[in-house]
């Protein structure tokens, strides 16, 4: 019993002693250490993926030059054709009648010219005997001959023109390729205008060599040049990557898309690729010159500006920059106010104000 009483008294005494002591002030928090980096230059390599379209290297739509009817179709969709091969025969009876009439006029004019030419030659020979033919008669004969010759040339031109029109009734392949579309049947009316010209008769494509066209955004055009190799894939063959080289660059930006058209030639002798396929192109963007490259965390994008925080005399100073390409966790920056080996805050944020003491 006594043991418990002593213990209670002891506890009471300790409590009074502790209440008499003053509370010690908490130790001040240490200023946070802000990690910095040295600004450096390097050649940043990155890549972009863009949608592209495969087209026939040569492709043309064939229309009727003259009003006519389809008499005979020599090929159909999917047919492989050679340059100059007859594809379709058209029929226009009025052209045959016009050709016959033109030929008749030509033969008649040839006869007239032959007669006037002979007359002139006889008068010319006779006029060599002095006093037999007056100079006026000789001039009249010469004028008649010249007029008839001009009429003959006009008749020849008219005949040739109708012959050319008749030649349009046979439509031939302009190059080696494949018939990819057919829009007419035998007996259909076709022509250069009106309902018969709504759709092309045939569409011919050269599929052994394809044209891969991609629109490259303005900010990336400076990293590409003729001869650069690219790779691409298509949905129908997802497990295979195809290669091609840049062959043509338009050298101008599309006013609507603000992009440059870039074309590659793709050899397609196996015909695994088809015109009209959508491809995904991977373009490697390699810098020719070194640029300032920093971690993305060092760049702050606020509503007012994009900037980095430099350390000048152990104090923070925001410097406006322009962002370039990104690659992984790094990004290019551009500014005339930055120099090599400047120290930048690695993890910058808007809470670090100008003049903030930076303890490295």
| Cα gap 304→146, rounded to integer Å | 87
Give the model confidence (pLDDT) of 40-76 as tens digits. 888 777 788 999 999 999 999 999 998 899 999 999 9
State the DSSP string of 162-225. Answer: HHHHHHTTEEE-SSSEEEEEE---TT-EE-SSSGGGSS-SEEEE--SEEEEEEEEEGGGGGG--
Using the predicted structure, report yes or no on whether residue 298 has a pLDDT greater than 70: yes
For the entire predicted model, the pTM comes to 0.62
The per-residue pLDDT for 81 is 94
The residues facing 248 across adjacent strands are: 263
More confident residue, 351 or 265: 265
Helix (H) or strand (E) holding 62: strand 59-62
Query: How crowded is the C-beta side of 50, counted as CA atoms within 13 Å?
Result: 21
Tokens encoding 79: 């047919």
| Cα gap 39→71, rounded to integer Å | 77
The per-residue pLDDT for 321 is 92
Domain architecture of the chain: domains with CATH: 36-44+290-345 (2.40.420.20), 49-57+206-286 (2.40.30.170), 61-92+174-205 (2.40.50.100), 98-167 (1.10.287)
Give the model confidence (pLDDT) of 109-142 as tens digits. 999 999 999 988 888 888 878 777 788 888 888 8
Q: What is the pLDDT confidence band of residue 29, given thresholds at 50, 70 and 90?
A: very low
The residues facing 283 across adjacent strands are: 48
Using the predicted structure, report yes or no on whether residue 5 has a pLDDT greater than 60: no
Q: What is the pLDDT confidence band of residue 196, given thresholds at 50, 70 and 90?
A: confident
The per-residue pLDDT for 80 is 92
Secondary structure (H, E, C), 308-320: EEEEECCEEEEEE
The per-residue pLDDT for 24 is 52
């Amino acid at each position: 019993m006594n043991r418990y009483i002593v213990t209670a008294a002891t506890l009471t005494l300790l409590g009074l002693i502790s209440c008499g002591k003053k509370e010690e002030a908490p130790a001040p928090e240490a200023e946070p250490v802000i990690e910095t980096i040295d600004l450096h230059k390097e050649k940043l390599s990155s890549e972009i993926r863009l949608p592209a379209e495969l087209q026939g290297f040569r492709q043309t739509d064939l229309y009727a030059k003259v009003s006519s009817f389809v008499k005979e179709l020599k090929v159909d969709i999917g047919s492989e054709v050679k340059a100059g091969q007859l594809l379709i025969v058209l029929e226009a009876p009025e052209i045959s009648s016009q050709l016959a009439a033109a030929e008749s006029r030509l033969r008649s004019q040839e006869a007239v010219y032959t007669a006037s030419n002979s007359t002139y030659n006889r008068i010319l020979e006779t006029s060599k005997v002095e006093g037999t033919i007056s100079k006026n008669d000789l001039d009249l004969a010469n004028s008649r001959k010249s007029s008839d010759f001009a009429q003959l040339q006009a008749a020849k031109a008219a005949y040739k023109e109708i012959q050319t029109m008749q030649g349009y009734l046979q439509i031939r392949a302009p190059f080696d390729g494949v018939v990819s579309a057919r829009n007419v049947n035998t007996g259909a009316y076709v022509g250069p205008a009106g309902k018969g010209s709504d759709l092309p008769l045939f569409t011919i494509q050269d599929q052994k060599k394809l044209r891969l066209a991609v629109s490259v955004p303005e900010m990336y055009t400076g990293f590409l040049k003729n001869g650069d190799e690219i790779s691409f894939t298509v949905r129908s063959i997802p497990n295979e990557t195809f290669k091609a080289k840049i062959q043509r660059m338009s050298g101008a930006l599309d006013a609507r898309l603000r992009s440059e058209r870039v074309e590659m030639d793709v050899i397609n002798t196996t015909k695994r690729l088809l015109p009209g396929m959508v491809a995904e192109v991977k373009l490697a963007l390699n810098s020719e010159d070194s640029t300032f490259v920093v971690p993305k965390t060092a760049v702050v994008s606020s509503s007012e500006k994009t900037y980095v925080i430099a350390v000048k005399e152990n104090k923070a100073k925001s410097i406006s920059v322009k962002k370039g390409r990104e690659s992984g966790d790094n990004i290019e920056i551009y500014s005339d106010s930055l120099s090599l080996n400047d120290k930048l805050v690695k993890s910058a944020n808007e809470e670090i104000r100008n003049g903030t003491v930076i303890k490295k």
